[in-house]
Structure 1
Amino acid sequence: MQFLYSIGLFALAGIIIPLVIHLWNVKQGKTIKIGSIALLGESSSASAKSFKINDWLLFVLRCLLLVLLAFLLAQPYLKKTTAINGKTGWILVDKNNFPQVFKTHQKKIDSLLKKGYEIHDFNVGFLPITLIDTTTNQIRQYNNLNYTTLLSAAGQIVPAGAQVYLFADRRLNRFGNELPTVNYKLSWIPLNQNDTLSSWITTYAGKKYEAKSNPSNTVYQALNLSDDAPINIIIHEGAGITDSKYIIAALKAISSFSQRKIIINPPTGKATIGFWLSDEAISTGFKSLIAPGSTLFQYEKGKILSIPSFINIDGKQLKLSKRIASANQAEKIWTDGFGNAILTKEKTGNLNTFHFYSRFNPQWNELVWDPLFVKALMPIVILDKNPDHFGFENNPADQRTVSFKQKEVIEGNKTVSQTKTIQNKPLITVFWIAAFLIFATERILSFRKKPQYVKN
C-alpha cells in the first residue's frame, strides 16, 4: 500500500487527543448523607483523580478513527503490476475476398474466433474485419502491394510470437524479390484460384508477344515474325582498360533473350548506341558515328574517391569500392548509398547521354559479376518504352504459383513479448466505510455507558 499525499500522515499526531482524554479523567468527590455524625470528626474536603484508562474499547476505537482519517488525507492506493501477454492470434484475409473465404473456410474461422483470434484486412493499416463484412457488398479495390511488403509491415503490429493465419493465394507475381523476416508464427492457408489459365498481349523491345500462363509456367510467343532492324553498337576502349569484355558478354545475353540482332562495331552505318570506355575526353569523331537521337554511354573522368558504399539498382544493393566525384545535376539513374550519382542521363545536343561515374571493373564494383548487370543494361540497349520493367514483365494475369516446398517467409525471433502495465487501485472507499463503521460503534458504546451511583 502506498500513499498519494504522504504528508497527510502527520495527522496521526491527533491520536494524542483521546490518549489525554482517557488518562486525565478527573472525578469530583460526592457528598454522602448519613444518619449520625456524632462519632465523626470535622470533615475535610477532598477530590479524587484517576490517571488510568478505564475503557480500553472506546479508547482503541477513537484512536482507530483518527488513524483512518489521517489515511484518508494521505489517499492510500495499491500499486499493481500486471504482465500482459502479447500472444494474440490474428486472421489475415483480403477484405475483398472475405465473403468467399468465409464461405469456404467457415468452420476454421469460427473455431479461431472462439479462441479469441481477431480478423484483420490483409492490406495497408490491417483494419479489423467483422462477420458483418461477409454480407456487405464492398467496392473491390485491387491491392497492388506485394506479400513481402505486407507481411513485413504486419510484423510492426502483430505481437511477437503470436500465431497468424493468412488466407491468400500463392501467385508468384504477389511476392517480392526477397522473403520477409517475421517475428510471429505464420500459417499460410492457400486459396483456390478461380482462373488457372489466362492469356494477354504484351509489347517488348518493339515486338508483340502473346503470353499464355498457368500455375506452372508462363510462355511468350512472338506474333510479328518480321525481322527487326539490327542494333548497331560501337565501343571505344582506352589504353590499359579491358572493360569492353564485360559489355560484350552482356550484349550477347541481351541479344539471346530479346531475339534482337546486335552488331558490335559494324563496318558501315550509324550506331544506335556508343560506349566510350576511356578516361580521355570523348572525341568528335566518335560522336559522329552515332545516329542522331540515339544513345551515348561514356565514362566520366575526375577525382577518384575510394569510399566503400553500394550501388542502388532496381531495389538491389551492389558493393561499390570506388567512384568518380560528380557535380552533375542531370537526372540520376543509379546512386550510391549516400545518394551520390553513379549513372545520370541528360540530353546533350542530338544525343541521349548517360554519364557513368564508376567503371565496369570488379576493382571498382561488383556490378559486372551480378546477373543484374544484364537487366540494368537492357533499357539502355533496347530502348524500351517501359524502362521500369527492365524487359521483365510482371503482369497481374500471371497464374504462376510459388511451390509449396518454397518457404514464404524467413522466421525471426518468435519470443513471446510481455508488456507490463502498472495500475493504481484507490483504497479511499474502503477506508471511508471502515471509518463510518468505527464511528458508529464508538457512538453506540458511548451512549450505552451509564453512570454508576452509590445507593444508601
Structure 2
Amino acid sequence: MLGLLVPLAIHLWSKKEAKTIKIGSVQLLDESNSRQSSSIQLNEWLLLLLRMLIVGLVVLLMAGPQWRIKPNKKQITYLVEPSLAHHSSLVGLLDSLGESSRVLLLKQGFPEWETDMELPSEPMVPSYWQLVQRMDSLASDSIVVFTRAYAEGIKSRRPKTHKKIHWVVMESDTLAGKPFLAYQREKEMELVSLQGNGQTTYFKKQTLSDGFSVQEDSLKLEVDGNIQTIPVLDLDTVYVNIMADTEFETDRQYLEASFRALSKFLDRKIQVQSVDADVENEVGLNIWLRKENWEPKQGKWLIFKEDILSNKLIKESEQQNVYWLTSKLNTENTTEQHFTEQLLRLLDLDAAVTPSVTQYDQRQMDVAELKPNYVGEPKKKERATLLDVSQWVFWILVLLMIAERVTAYVKRQ
C-alpha cells in the first residue's frame, strides 16, 4: 500500500510556483477565467483520487480478496469427482439432490454439476487434500464427497479443516485379466495383463503360443470373442560401455557382475563391453572410470567422482543424464547399499511403459486414511467461510481505469 504515495508525490511535485508574466492590461480578464481555473483544480484532485484508488485495487486484487459469509449449517453441499459425474449408480441420486442441495464437481473452482455437461474422456485425478483446503470457502458446514479416492491424488501433508467432510468411496471396476502390453522376445511373445481392483493391482505375465497375430508394432489378440489391439515392445539388447584405467579393474569386475545379475533377473540380454574410446553407436549407459577429466558428451553417463559424504554409490549430478559414482566398489558397499538396484534405476528400462502404468493405476485409499484433520468450530478471528470476490474487484478496477482516462482527457481540454 506504500504505492499510494506515488500518485500523491507526482501530484505535489507538479504543484510548482507559478511564473509571473508582465502584461499591459488585465481588462479582458473576467470571472469566467476564475471558474475555469476552479474546474481544472477539481479535475486534478479527482484524477489524484482515481489513481490512488486504482493502485489500491491492484494491491487488493493481488492479495486475493475474500468476503466473510455466514455458513448455513443445515445445508449440505455434495461434491462429485468428475470421473463419477455420469456414473450409472449416481446419476439418479444426483438428480434428486440437485433439487434441494448444491451439487458441485470436485475440481478447482468447484463448478456446478449439470446433467448434460461435457467432461473429458480421460479425467485427471484430483488432488484431494489440496481441494480440502479450499472447501473452507463453501457456504455450508457439512460436505459429502463422492470420490474414487485414488492413491495417486494424495499429495502433500494431511490438511486441517473446519468443515465436517464425509467421504463416500466408490469402488473401482475389477481389472480381471485386462491385457496391457506385450513383449517380443527372441523366440516367444510374452503378454502382460493388468489384474486386481481398488485394493490390489498387479501385473501377470504369460507366454503366448497361439490365438494371436502380429502386425508391425501391434498384437491382435482374441479376448472373449473380441479382437483387441495391444502394443508390442521389442526387448532389444541393452549395451553398456565401460571406459576404465587399469587401477579401476576391480570396479569394472563388480560392474560386470552386477549387470550379469540384472540380466538374469530381468530375463533380458545386457551386453557389457570395455572400450578404449567413445563409440558412436547409441548405448544404454556409458561408464567413465578414468583419472583424466570427463568432457560433456551425449548419452547417459556414470562417472567416477569420489564423495566421502554421500550415502549413495550413485548420485545424480546437476547435468541431465550425468551421474556420479561416489566411491570405489568393494564387497561391503555394493551389498549394504544395494548397488545392483541403483544400477537398475539408472538404466530406467521401463521408461516407455511408465506413463501407461500410471494411467491404469487404480489403487484406492481407505476412508480412514483419506480423512483430513478436523479442528472443530472456527473462532471469530479465524478464517471461516469466505467468498472469493476477486472478479468483482477486477471489474471495478476496469471501470476506474476508464474513468481515469476520461477525466484526464477532459482536464487536457
What TM-score bracket applies, with the shorter chain setting the length? 0.3 to 0.5
**What is the TM-score of this pair, normalised by structure 1?**
0.42
TM (norm. structure 2) is 0.46
- Greater share of residues in helix: 2
